[in-house]
């Protein structure tokens, strides 16, 4: 497990990469490589990149049954989330998160610019009073199915065809964001939204930030179609980081590591690399 020690200098370097220039960092002995390996793939923005992030408890919960998710992550987990927001072009949440948390999705815990806010609101239930529609911050885009009656509002509404399963295609959502030059995106929650992006094989990196609390009941961060056998489980290549209050699993979903039961030592074997 690698410790992550962010310094002002490293953060300035990462922000400069995000803006397509490179502010040099000090001599190699001073540079915390783990910081760079964690954040550089996001900051470089050299093509479409989808990061999903889950902040969960030891028992895998992202909120209480009543929907309280405010302090699931510790202070360093929150700083990490805000760093990710500062490095991407857009942050995506489902309307369930807006209804439950009324988030602003801005960058506050670190220095950096806030991303464009995108809410997936298939059936048009975005609350008119949602904070992000009135806080004067970055634009808020609301993505709806094209059969939902239009309501007047100040925010931009993007209309997409409803798919056979009754929902919106995550691929269509990314395509309309790409048309707006929003190519590096953070899918921040909740479970239903993240799971749809993972199920559609669109997530490059999944960050699971585990905080040392036990909630005991409540929703889990990822819900995919059921499998029968553990051999069918996804085994992404992971790097584990100690970020302070929380432990972060940085999962590369483009590299699958399959465990072959019955093979000597059950060693991990890389079987795909589409990165």
127 contact partners, CB below 8 Å, separation of at least 6: 98, 99, 102
Question: Least distance in Å: CB of 45 to ligand NAP?
Answer: 23
CB-based contact 62:54 (threshold 8 Å): yes
Interface mask toward ligand NAP for 104-123; x: CB under 6 A: ----------------x-xx
Q: How far is CA 81 from the centre of its chain?
A: 8
Of residues 209 and 252, the one with the C-beta less far from ligand NAP:
209
Question: Least distance in Å: CB of 91 to ligand NAP?
Answer: 10
Can you tell me which of 4, 14, 72, 174 binds ligand NAP, judged by CB under 6 A? 72
DSSP per position, 75-90: HHHHHHHHHHHHHSSE
Question: Least distance in Å: CB of 246 to ligand NAP?
Answer: 11
- What are the angstrom distances between the C-alpha of 208 and each of 61, 135, 272? 11, 29, 22
- C-alpha 68/C-alpha 249 separation (Å) is 23
CB-based contact 152:124 (threshold 8 Å): no
Of residues 101 and 204, the one with the C-beta less far from ligand NAP:
101
Question: Least distance in Å: CB of 163 to ligand NAP?
Answer: 8
Of residues 74 and 190, the one with the C-beta less far from ligand NAP:
190
Q: Is 129 exposed, middle or buried (0-12, 13-18, 19+ CB in 10 A)?
A: exposed
Q: Does 95 bind ligand NAP (CB under 6 A)?
A: yes
Can you tell me which of 6, 54, 107, 182 binds ligand NAP, judged by CB under 6 A? 54
Q: Does 248 bind ligand NAP (CB under 6 A)?
A: no
- C-alpha 271/C-alpha 273 separation (Å) is 7
226 contact partners, CB below 8 Å, separation of at least 6: none
Can you tell me which of 25, 35, 43, 62 binds ligand NAP, judged by CB under 6 A? 62
Number of residues that bind ligand NAP (CB under 6 A): 29
Of residues 163 and 258, the one with the C-beta less far from ligand NAP:
163
Site for ligand NAP in 187-226 (CB under 6 A): 188-193, 196, 219
CB-based contact 83:63 (threshold 8 Å): no
Please, what is the end-to-end C-alpha distance for the chain in angstroms?
Answer: 23
Q: Does 74 bind ligand NAP (CB under 6 A)?
A: no
Q: Does 170 bind ligand NAP (CB under 6 A)?
A: yes
Binding site for ligand NAP (CB under 6 A): 54-55, 62-63, 67, 69, 72, 93-97, 100-101, 120, 122-123, 125, 167-168, 170, 188-193, 196, 219
């Amino acid at each position: 497990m690698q410790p992550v020690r962010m310094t002002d200098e490293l953060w300035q370097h990462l922000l400069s990469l995000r803006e397509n220039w490179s502010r040099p960092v000090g001599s190699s002995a001073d540079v915390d490589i783990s910081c760079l390996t964690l954040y550089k793939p996001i900051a470089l923005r050299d093509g479409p990149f989808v990061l999903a992030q889950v902040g969960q408890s030891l028992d895998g919960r992202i909120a209480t049954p009543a929907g309280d998710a405010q302090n699931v992550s510790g202070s360093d987990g929150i700083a990490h989330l805000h760093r990710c927001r500062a490095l991407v072009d857009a942050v995506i949440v489902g309307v369930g998160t807006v209804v439950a948390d009324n988030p602003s999705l801005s960058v506050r815990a670190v220095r950096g610019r806030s991303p464009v806010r995108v809410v997936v609101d298939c059936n048009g239930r975005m609350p008119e009073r949602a904070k992000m529609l009135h806080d004067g911050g970055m634009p808020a885009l609301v993505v709806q199915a094209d059969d939902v009656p239009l309501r007047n509002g100040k925010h931009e509404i993007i209309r997409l065809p409803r798919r056979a399963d009754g929902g919106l295609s995550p691929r269509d959502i990314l395509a309309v964001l790409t048309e707006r030059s929003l190519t590096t995106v953070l899918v921040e929650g909740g479970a239903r939204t993240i799971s749809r992006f993972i199920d559609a094989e669109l997530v490059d990196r999944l960050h699971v930030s585990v905080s040392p609390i036990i909630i005991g009941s409540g929703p889990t961060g990822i819900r995919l179609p059921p499998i029968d056998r553990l051999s069918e489980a996804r085994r992404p290549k992971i790097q584990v980081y100690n970020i302070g209050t929380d432990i972060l699993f940085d999962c590369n979903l483009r590299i699958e590591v399959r465990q072959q039961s019955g093979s000597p030592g059950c060693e991990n074997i890389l079987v795909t690399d589409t990165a």
